[in-house]
Structure 1
């Protein structure tokens, strides 16, 4: 993790949608006021529930999980100043995770705890193929636990040490993924502030198809485009001069990307020194060169992107989105369309077409299972399909990408699309978008895509259904109550009686709660499985 840096020079209330104002008076001003108020209350909660936005982060709550009951520790993957990372196996599903165990002895300062909780909150809201995924967060009397995927490829830093330097095409593939993650973060008003090779992990040991994951959001924060940040934090080699000056914006991340690209292509940092003070003095000048012998064979286009990333003044520094569109990135990654397994493609298209549900509870359960109970190996082919459709590389699918990508996938699948006019394709895509855009932001996020495209047989295994049921069944009673449902959806201020209309669609025996069989039947019916 980076740190606070000392520079060389430092010594109206809205109407509720769906509720007719006339209803405030009852039936034209007549009728029982209590009955009218109850009916209005039911409409309010039904509308609030139906319009609630589903995101994977809603399932990451400070739960009452007991580590030794849920997980079996296998081995220590690494140690740090705050704790250690343990390779652990879920006792119920058999899946393996990397669990960061942080001793509360080392999180005594208020600022340290705030940093940890802020990191958790940010990871809850970020859903991107190149950003680490947080599955669970819990604590006991002595430790905090953060559960994430196991990224077996190690740090990008170690890969740089091993290779010395990268070919341009490999460097472009890596920097494109970093920029994709940063584009997504900046779009969601999140700035990382400590990008460096140590905070970028390789998903697997597969060197031919490297997928990177941005980690360590301890120094990250929300930002506003109209306001400058002032905290002097980061890591010496990668920190931007505007951060040292104490007035900067989200483009401090772009400077760090420029430094990383320079290192990938040359094996050396652009701002070097024998100690941190000397490094920061060079960063503060912003002066660097391409005089190293390694750069003699590097293309002018690659150098051009580095220059644009390392512009001294933030206002003229290239944005993450524009960097993704840079000529060098496009040229180097133009042939990156990977081979897609046709049977997997056929199954995913069938699943996407069949996904139709207006039940928010069923959607939430499936999103949890698709985003939190699947492994890297299980989603490998779907990840390829998603990347194939993500034409601009920002980690989301917009309507235009869906139209273009859907046509391509149908052709790959062997379907004759010549008889389908654009209007027919667009209509089908609009139906798909409205069905699977669970957070209603106009884009298909990575987890949303996995949720609807994944093999239903795989997803609806007994072990996964049981774990999903336990998420909703907070008190472990074996049934999901109205209050538990309200808590999960963040609508706990609404009276529990009003949730009966929500439960009724699933509650087969009319006991006012949902048991495991009713829960399972709901999902099987929704998935046509």
Structure 2
């Protein structure tokens, strides 16, 4: 497919000292109208996805010769290369990786998106640390799906494609099959369906028969094999879902073996969330931009761990119950008596937090929303970051944000006078009818419960 021909560059924003990856696609390679449509569909899908294990897209633009996708930089390389290097993974390491992949898939499936080309080459390691986070990439074959309709396009990669895809009638569980193949390879170093060429491989996939006969499987636990059997169930209706796979005994016990969080980190995270006062739309939009677009992987490593720890069902979102459990867990870690906790008081506070932090009002805290309100205030509200955010809203570079620029921020033709009046009443200290940088800065400090000048 032509849109798969690209090269990557790494650029540094000198103003923010932040690195980005740029996927550059030549328009000469995108000759067919359908190829351009596929590329634009990939961009639209990525814009909608907000999950710690899915590639983050910052910007998309084009000129006469090229399309450009600006994303986060991931320096750890492909999981494929790590497999080649290690040969086999321990159960603990394999569980940590597969749990992250399943979490991303669960989130996608919940949002009616199917990847359709999951393989180690499309799983990147954020960095070179042994416990590096996994990022799912390459959504070129992804699409929206309907629960009542089957997909028919025969697409994917030989080793990882599900048999029902070859038959031309399938649903989102094709992603679970692919992930099951990846798990099999991680634990054994060999694919479950192998052959001398692609034709031979696809014939074996079509039959769907695999074994644990190789010597290395003798050292693998029965629960791990059980999960593989459930993920590689030949009949899709009998195959485990991504969400149910996250609840499997092997993942819950094996991945938990390395699951630890620094108590002060969890405490400061929850304190930051509690202090957030999300009432002002301009301030909330600016803060979300800073949290989602202007933070680096290094800055969010600990928050990522905390988010995944709090996300009990692994769907990539925090709901009311998970927030309540997070509060209780903090009390336990601090050695406090949880039996004396007032559940109704906790519930009331969590509802207030959800109301303030849930920017898109969908009933959940998304990953970017969490990072935005949970990050260390001094880090998030650095002058460099504030200036970049202000510059994004101040489109004409006048040094002030006007009502027309606010309209652009919220994607409307104009902001009604009453809305603008309310914004100015809270922010415009010098009464000039616009918002300058210092007013913008003070607005964000107030929003975060920070009284610092």
Is 1:504 the counterpart of 2:427? The answer is: no
Is the CA contact 2:406–2:415 (under 8 Å) kept in the aligned structure 1? no
Cα shift at 1:357: 2.4
Partner of 2:93: 170
Query: SS at 1:519's partner residue?
Result: helix
Which aligned pairs between 1:389-408 and structure 2 lie closer than 5 A?
Answer: 389-408=310-329
2:59 to 100, 113, 136: 136
Whether contact under 8 Å (2:75, 2:126) holds in the other structure is yes
The CA deviation at 1:373 is 0.7
* CA shift for structure 1 position 508: 3.5
Check conservation: 1:486, 1:496, Cα contact below 8 A.
Answer: no
Q: Which residue of 2 aligns with 1:299?
A: 221
Residues 1:465 and 2:386 aligned together:
yes
**In 2, distance between residues paired with 1:217 and 1:197?**
14
Q: Does 1:97 align with 2:20?
A: yes
Q: Is the 8 A contact 2:403 2:415 kept in 1?
A: no
**2:393 paired with 1:487:** no
- Choose which of 295, 298, 301 in structure 2 pairs with 1:380: 301
After superposition, what is the alpha-carbon deviation per residue over 1:171-192, rounded to whole angstroms, capped at 9, x for unaligned? Answer: 1111111101100100010100
Which deviations, in whole Å up to 9, do the C-alpha atoms of 1:126-179 show, x marking residues without a partner? 111111111222222222222222211111101111111112222111111110
Task: Using structure 2 for the length normalisation, give the TM-score.
Answer: 0.94
What residue is the counterpart of 2:262 in the other structure? 340
1:423 equivalenced with 2:337 (yes/no) = no
Partner of 2:206: 284
Does structure 2 retain, via aligned residues, the 8 Å contact 1:229–1:249? yes
**RMSD across aligned positions (CA):** 2.0
Task: Give 1:119-198 correspondences, 5 Å limit.
Answer: 119-198=42-121
Task: Give the direction of change, closer, same or farther, for the CA distance of 1:146–1:315 in structure 2 (3 Å limit).
Answer: same
Larger radius of gyration: 1
Query: Comparing both structures, which one devotes a greater share of its residues to helix?
Result: 2
Q: 1:242 maps to which residue?
A: 164
Q: After alignment, is 268-277 or 139-148 more displaced?
A: 139-148
* Structure-2 residue corresponding to 1:36: none
Take 1:340 and 1:279, find their aligned partners in 2: how far apart are those partners? 46
8 Å CA contact retained: 1:500, 1:512: no
Residue 412 (structure 1) aligns with? 333
Partner of 2:272: 351
**How far apart are residue 341 of structure 1 and its match?**
5.7
Number of residue pairs the alignment of both structures matches = 449
Distance 1:345 1:299, change over 3 A: closer
Superposition pairs for residues 249-264 of structure 1, below 5 Å? 249-264=171-186
Partner of 1:55: none
Q: Gaps spanning 5+ residues in structure 2: where?
A: none
Q: Is contact 2:277-2:449 (8 Å) kept?
A: no
Q: Distance in 2 between matches of 1:101 and 1:508?
A: 44
**Cα distance change on mapping 1:104 and 1:513 into 2, 3 Å:** farther
* 2:396 counterpart of 1:475: yes
1:320 aligns with 2:246: no
Task: Supply the distance in 2 between the matched residues of 1:498 and 1:233 (Cα, whole angstroms).
Answer: 52
2:10 alignment partner in structure 1: 87
- Aligned residue number for residue 311 of structure 1: 233
Q: Quote the Cα distance in structure 2 between the aligned partners of 1:312 and 1:418.
A: 47
Deviation at 1:125, TM superposition (A): 0.9
Pick which of 82-91 and 362-371 moved more.
82-91
Cα 1:324–1:372 shift into 2, 3 Å: same
Rounded to whole Å, the distance in 1 between the matches of 2:334 and 2:116 is 43
Q: CA separation in 2, counterparts of 1:171 and 1:276?
A: 26
Matched, 1:111 2:34: yes
How far is the alpha carbon of 1:275 from its aligned partner?
A: 1.4
1:242 CA displacement: 1.1
- Which position in structure 1 is the counterpart of 2:155? 233
Is the Cα–Cα contact under 8 Å of residues 183 and 394 in structure 1 kept in the other structure? yes
In structure 1, the partner of 2:374 is 453
- Return structure 1 stretches of 4+ with deviation > 6 angstroms: none
Deviation at 1:369, TM superposition (A): 0.4
1:415 and 1:330, CA in 2 relative to 1: closer, same or farther beyond 3 A? Answer: closer
Alpha-carbon shift at residue 425 of structure 1 (Å): 1.7
Q: 1:81: how far off?
A: 6.0
